[in-house]
Amino acid sequence: MALKTTAEVCGMGHSMKRKEDPRFIRGQGHYVDDIKLPGMVHLDIVRSPYAHAKITAIHTEKALAIPGVLAVITGKTLEQFNLHWMPTLMSDTQMVLPVEKVMYQAQEVAAVIATDRYIAADGVEAVEVEYEPLPVVVDPFKALEPGAPVLRTDKKDKKDNHIFHWEAGDRAGTDRAFAEADVKVKQDIYIPRIHVASIETCGCVADFDRAMGHLTVYMTTQAPHAIRTVFALVAGHVGLSEEKIRIVSPDIGGGFGGKVPVYPGYVIAVAASVVLGKPVKWIEDRMENLQADSFARDYHMTAELAAKRDGTMTALRIKTLADHGYADAAANPSKFPAGLFSICTGSYDLKHAFTEVDAAYTNKPPGGIAYRCSFRVTEAVHAIERITDVLAQELEMDPAELRLKNFIQPEQFPYKSALGWEYDSGDYPAALALAMKTIGYDELRREQAEKRRRGELMGIGISSFTEIVGAGPSKDFDILGIKMFDSAELRIHPTGKVIARFGTKSQGQGHETTYAQIVAEELGIPAAHVQVEEGDTDTAPYGLGTYASRSTPTSGAACAVAARKIREKAKKIAAYLLEASEDDLEWETGKFFVKGAPQKAKTIQEIAFAAYTNHPPGMEAGLEAVDYYDPPNLTFPFGSYICVVDIDRGTGAVKIRRFLAVDDCGNIINPMIVDGQIHGGLTMGMAPALLEEISYDENGNISGGSFMDYLVPTAMETPNWETAKTVTPSPHHPFGAKGVGESATVGAPPAIANAVVDALAHLGVRHIDIPITPEKVWDILKANGVAE
């Protein structure tokens, strides 16, 4: 895209350095744990050692006897106010604190409030809880077997552990296409439970002002407005009215979907502040964060693909069992219990498709959040990109050739998928062709063949994914009934400087920079002169927050539309100042001028000043606009990734030698930030492919509940990411952009898994579940007699 603005104005396409970084790199970010209020006290939580147990008694006397311990809150305390249960974002219910039984290991059991964090921790040690263990259900398949212990005994009519059944597509047509197919492949694919593991854990400072009945909560949330509304709806009966609730989301050290839900800790801190009349701080530690906050993935999928002998794909069928833990606390739009899993037809022109998802309760923490992905897109992409490679293997066809044969073609857009989505734009062959050329695909294949002859293990994996981001059109997308529009409010000061506020909330994505660049592009006011604010419900316009790569498609769009509204008014003021007709004026970034007389011009700064000092008679003073943007469609970013791995026959270790990501997110606001998003996303995509997993033994004991065994990647494991771009603008977005924040997390895992399987394909290996650990590979090498 050609640059329309100078480096001084720094509109779209400039790699402007991030405006937020001077405070971050100096250690002057302002996070929740930096907040210290006068009289503030601290909360710590007693957690269950059992995965399923009746609570027969909680003894608080010893804890209360510790000097500095102010209170111990239990489920019984909250029950008096009917606040011991709360709704989840999927309209299920979840305990704040238990009254009868615990449902997973590390569940909150009671809270100790003390004058000091260490005293609160001592108090936690001193609380004595008596448990009576109950049978534990860990495996979701067993959870659905007849006779399995029913976990949700709180639900009077619930006789099993089934949560929901959801399906999309044409079952009969797909079955017929399978019956008629020349070739069929079928593969069980599991994406394990993982965790966002953001650098900053969750926490809050709840500050209830008894005199004014006003509650301020500083909290780690990606969706402050929605949280305020939920608080008002859930606690309205105890006097918390929405106008008296202020949620402030300060700097956030990574959210990735994990900071969308309301966790019990937030609610307990609010209750404690109301009870004590003091500000209460709750900051979870790393183990609490990993063990109790919402998990991601945990999808057991069976994918099937049908094709003609020449490789033309004809039908896709995917059946999934989702393990939601003890409550369905996914952060999905209401109408989509399985998120946007129905993007699983991917980049391929599949005429027939059917998918169904069932969900089960187990004795694990609740969740099902969209970890850096647009509501189950990662799962969908993993399934289609893996089963495509299984088909390539079955057909003995090159996986690149198979993809190129089946891609939706550029002229087919807008493209209606078999599962009902209208893809806005794309050029999949161009992205894969660029990836193959840049990485030297043919040469790599030759090298692989040679190495294979020598007994060396090298693999090449491709993933040509399609994302679906920007939720969403309000006709289909809401969370707890609140429509998923988003907002921007721009106010131009007399000297031509801007305050811009949004309903979204950055957690590291650089919104302070990119939103300023959108204003700069639209109005010609230097991005340096645009102050961006998000996250304070008292000042920002209402919006649903930042997750699922929705900020650019929604608030970014709102920003451009609001700026254009301002330009309309600015034109009227310019016409007045220039004594010209509006029809005779033309806009050139930063100024209006009279057609044919470019010297007769008024800059946006001059117009802004006039808006407060010399505006036309009869016109309202000021220069500002608000927009609540309801996108007409989602945006469909895409990419083609190629990964090259070498496998050590002595250890089973997988080394990523090269990884090239070709991404297309339409028009780019800030190329440097987009590259940063891709680099981070690739690292977060590599993590579950090779390292990360949370699992449970048959008693519900967690493994992967601390950084001792939850292996987040470090610089040691992270290869040198190579990136390239194609640009296919979104036809419906005001400036042709698509979201990008999550593309790489979505696209990377199957590229890596496909590369490892490709390295071992000649041994008959067809699939390996992620994470592909050295142990798993080593077992395969040993079984095939090729281990060194």
742 among known catalytic residues: yes
204 among known catalytic residues: no
* Interface with ligand CDP in residues 671-690 (CB under 6 A): 673-674, 677
Cα separation, 189 vs 348, whole angstroms: 19
Among the listed ranges 122-130, 190-198, 341-349, 667-675, the one in contact with ligand CDP (CB under 6 A) is 667-675
Cα separation, 339 vs 368, whole angstroms: 9
**CA nearest neighbour of 189 among 743, 714, 768, 653:** 768
Cα 164 to the chain's mean position, in Å? 22
Closer residue to ligand CDP (CB): 529 or 733: 733
Order of all β-strands in the sheet with 214-219: 69-74, 108-114, 41-47, 280-283, 203-209, 214-219, 245-248
Contact status, residue 69 vs residue 46, Cβ threshold 8 Å: no
**Number of C-beta neighbours around residue 511 at 10 A:** 28
Binding to ligand CDP by CB under 6 A, coded x per residue (else -) over 354-393, reads ----------------------------------------
Contact status, residue 298 vs residue 368, Cβ threshold 8 Å: yes
CB 511 → ligand CDP: shortest distance, Å? 5
Contact status, residue 97 vs residue 75, Cβ threshold 8 Å: yes
* Helix, strand, coil share (%) of the chain residues, nearest 5: 30, 25, 40
Closer residue to ligand CDP (CB): 510 or 704: 510
Asked if 666 touches ligand CDP (CB under 6 A), the answer is: yes
The single residue of 94, 105, 107, 222 carrying the catalytic annotation is 222
**CA nearest neighbour of 599 among 623, 580, 572:** 580
Contact status, residue 192 vs residue 711, Cβ threshold 8 Å: no
DSSP one-letter string for 192-244:
EEE----SS--EEEEEEETTTTEEEEEE--S-HHHHHHHHHHHHGGGT--GGG
677 among known catalytic residues: no
Closer residue to ligand CDP (CB): 1 or 65: 1
Number of residues near ligand CDP (by CB under 6 A): 24
Closer residue to ligand CDP (CB): 426 or 741: 741
Closer residue to ligand CDP (CB): 216 or 745: 745
Residue among 163, 247, 665, 770 that touches ligand CDP (CB under 6 A): 665
On the CB side of 215, CA atoms within 13 Å amount to 31
CB 731 → ligand CDP: shortest distance, Å? 14
Binding to ligand CDP by CB under 6 A, coded x per residue (else -) over 714-743, reads -----------------------xxxxx--
Closer residue to ligand CDP (CB): 739 or 750: 739
CB 638 → ligand CDP: shortest distance, Å? 13
CB 386 → ligand CDP: shortest distance, Å? 25
CB 556 → ligand CDP: shortest distance, Å? 6
Residue among 181, 322, 468, 669 that touches ligand CDP (CB under 6 A): 669
CB 483 → ligand CDP: shortest distance, Å? 17
Helices 377-395 and 399-406, axial angle in degrees (round to 10): 110
Cα separation, 389 vs 402, whole angstroms: 9
372 among known catalytic residues: yes
The single residue of 10, 202, 344, 373 carrying the catalytic annotation is 373
Among the listed ranges 127-135, 358-366, 379-387, 665-673, the one in contact with ligand CDP (CB under 6 A) is 665-673
| 51 phi/psi in degrees, rounded to 5 | -85, -20
Closer residue to ligand CDP (CB): 229 or 728: 728
CB 425 → ligand CDP: shortest distance, Å? 13
**CA nearest neighbour of 604 among 559, 628, 561, 568:** 568
CB 439 → ligand CDP: shortest distance, Å? 23
**Does 333 sit behind a cis peptide bond, omega within 30 degrees of 0 on the bond before it?**
no
Cα separation, 695 vs 362, whole angstroms: 12
* Interface with ligand CDP in residues 497-556 (CB under 6 A): 509-511, 514, 546, 549-552, 556
Closer residue to ligand CDP (CB): 293 or 664: 664
DSSP one-letter string for 67-89:
TTEEEEEEHHHHHTTT-SEEE-T
The single residue of 228, 372, 376, 550 carrying the catalytic annotation is 372
Q: Which residues are catalytic?
A: 222, 372-373, 742
What residues make contact with ligand CDP under the rule CB under 6 A? 509-511, 514, 546, 549-552, 556, 665-670, 673-674, 677, 737-741
